[in-house]
Amino acid sequence: MVQHIDIAVNILSPQLANHIDSVISDAANVGVSPLIVIGSDIDESIESQRLCSAHPGKLFSTAGVHPHHAKDWDQHSRQSIITLAAKPEVVAIGECGLDYNRDFSPRDLQRDVFAKQLEIACELNMPVLMHCREAHDDFIDILKDYRPELPRALLHCFTGTQVELEACLQQDLYIGITGWICDERRGQELAQLVPLIPNNRLMAETDSPYLLPRSMRPKPKSSKNLPQYLPYIVETMAKLRDQCPEQLAKHCYDNSQAFFNLEDTVLETQRVER
C-alpha cells in the first residue's frame, strides 16, 4: 500500500472531535498514517498533545498560536509552548504566522506573536509549521530574520502567487498543498504552480475538516474533508506534475518524515504492531 502522511489535521475541530478513532482508522486503511494534529492556540495545543500521547505513532502534534489567536498571547504563552515542545508527541512549533484576510487579531500583534514563535523554534532547534494568508510581504520580512537559525520551515496550505512561491522557495521552505487545487473556482492558479515545486520541498495535506476536494467523484455525502481523502489530492498533484502518483507519494512521505523527524518513531511503531 502507498504510504502518506497528512501534515495538517484539525482533529479537535467540532466536525471531527466526536469521531477521532474512526478518522484515524479510516485514514490508516488507505495508507494515510501518521496524522499531524494542529495546535492553533495554547489550550488546543495542550489537548492535542494529550490526544497524541493516547495514540502513539499514529498521531503527532504541533504546539503554537495561530494568527487568529495572537490577541490571546500572554505572559505564560511562551513557557507553555516550550513545555509542550519537550513532549515526544510534539514535532513542530506552530501553527503560527500571519492572516490579513480575516484580521481576527490586530496585525501588529500577529507580527509580534509570529516572531516570538520563530524565536522559540530557533532556540529549541525545532521545525516550524506556518500560515500565511494575504500577508506575504510581512511574512517574508519577519521570516528572513530567523530563517538562518531555523532547522526546517514549512508553509502549510499554500495558496499564493508564482512570485510568492518563488520567494518562499528562496527561503528554502517546504510547501504544503491541499485540495485547493481541486477547486475549479479558486484553485486554478495554484494548480498551475504545483509543477514548479521541487520534489524535495513538496508535502501533501488535507487541512481536514476544511477544503474538501471539489472534484472528487463520487462526491462525498458529507462536506467534511477527511484525512482518508489525501491520496486523491496526491493523485491530482501527480497529474498536474506529469508524475507517477506512487513516486510523488513517496517524495511527499519522505519529505514529511524528515521534516518532522518521524523516521525512527514511525518505524518502531510499525515494528511493534507487526
In the chain, what are the domains? 4-273 (3.20.20.140)
User: What percentage of the chain reaches a pLDDT higher than 90?
Assistant: 94
Q: What is the pLDDT of residue 263?
A: 81
131 is in an annotated binding site: yes
User: Which pLDDT band, with edges at 50, 70 and 90, does 86 fall under?
Assistant: very high
Radius of gyration of the chain from Cα atoms? 17
The Cα 84–Cα 98 span in angstroms is: 22
Question: What grid cell was written down for 200?
Answer: 524535495
Q: What is the pLDDT of residue 274?
A: 42
Question: What grid cell was written down for 207?
Answer: 487541512
User: What percentage of the chain reaches a pLDDT higher than 70?
Assistant: 96
76 is in an annotated binding site: no
The Cα 267–Cα 274 span in angstroms is: 11
Question: What grid cell was written down for 206?
Answer: 488535507
User: Which pLDDT band, with edges at 50, 70 and 90, does 266 fall under?
Assistant: low
Span 15-56, pLDDT tens digits? 999 999 999 999 999 999 999 999 999 999 999 999 999 999
As a whole number, mean pLDDT of residues 74-95 equals: 98
Span 64-73, pLDDT tens digits? 999 999 999 9
Q: What is the pLDDT of residue 80?
A: 98
The Cα 61–Cα 89 span in angstroms is: 6
Q: Where are the alpha helices (DSSP H) in the chain?
A: 20-28, 42-53, 77-85, 107-124, 136-146, 162-170, 188-193, 230-241, 245-260, 263-273
Q: What is the pLDDT of residue 256?
A: 98
Question: What grid cell was written down for 212?
Answer: 474538501
The Cα 274–Cα 272 span in angstroms is: 5
As a whole number, mean pLDDT of residues 131-137 equals: 98
Residue 272 has pLDDT above 60, yes or no: no
Beta bridge partners of residue 128, listed in sequence order: 93, 153
How is the beta sheet containing 174-177 ordered, strand by strand?
4-9, 32-37, 59-63, 90-99, 128-133, 153-155, 174-177, 202-204
55 is in an annotated binding site: no
> Rounded to 5 degrees, what are φ and ψ at 54?
-85, -10
The Cα 118–Cα 67 span in angstroms is: 13
207 is in an annotated binding site: yes
Question: What grid cell was written down for 62?
Answer: 504541533
